[in-house]
Structure 1
């Protein structure tokens, strides 16, 4: 990522396992997605291109349909029958320790380091990855379009 722009490079913030939170139950416990924004206009969910959630205003989500539009606001906090916000949700960390990759994947990555395909500045990172023979490799589901394009090349 860092090497994608020579001029004005991206600022990269490496994440650690402690930085990952489990948001799976958050919407169920204290959020309600609305049909109308704070001005009473209908929200077109499929047309939203930009969502912004800020610490300063945690019961609202800002959104835009076009990048050059002004942000619109929707309230998402659940409220009690008396109109008060419900209690705050405590975020739960997703992982309690570093995650392992499959032994085969680590072997391939270390092999890429030895061949010089991965730059030497990253070798220590790849060599320090935890590997486990019980971890199963999983690949993301491919898009139908990708599969069609791949079949034409055969």
Structure 2
């Protein structure tokens, strides 16, 4: 898996815990996940061009209020080989809270070495060593991995993820619907 250096989107504890959870699940055949971070200004992902096309198309759609408005922007961003848009529901979004409570987010190793999370270039998660995150400050194959143990003393089980929005919130929905512009019928659900 390749990502850019954006800590808020890719290089954070939530993504690390999800990857660890995936490989640790005995019902999942995946043995290892490698997550490499490309160097800013020195690398280019194909999706970078796609994001640029969407951003460029956004200028032609000044009224973006709801997700369906964004779908139109994305759909119009390419003239041929249109982007595939996948609608998702609340049953496809999971919370990482149970995973976060089940670990210790260590920033210093047992030997006192500080883990510099923002300098990491390669993360590895292995089925054979759950609750361990292997890391390098390089994408060089020859450089050895270091590892950090994120388990709590009594933690050795893999947990079932819970839905992020299990019931919805009727009051919040009512407030959001009240905010929709009344002069544009395309925004009504």
TM-score w.r.t. the length of structure 2 is: 0.37
> Greater RCO between the two (CA within 8 Å, min separation 6)?
2
TM-score w.r.t. the length of structure 1 is: 0.42
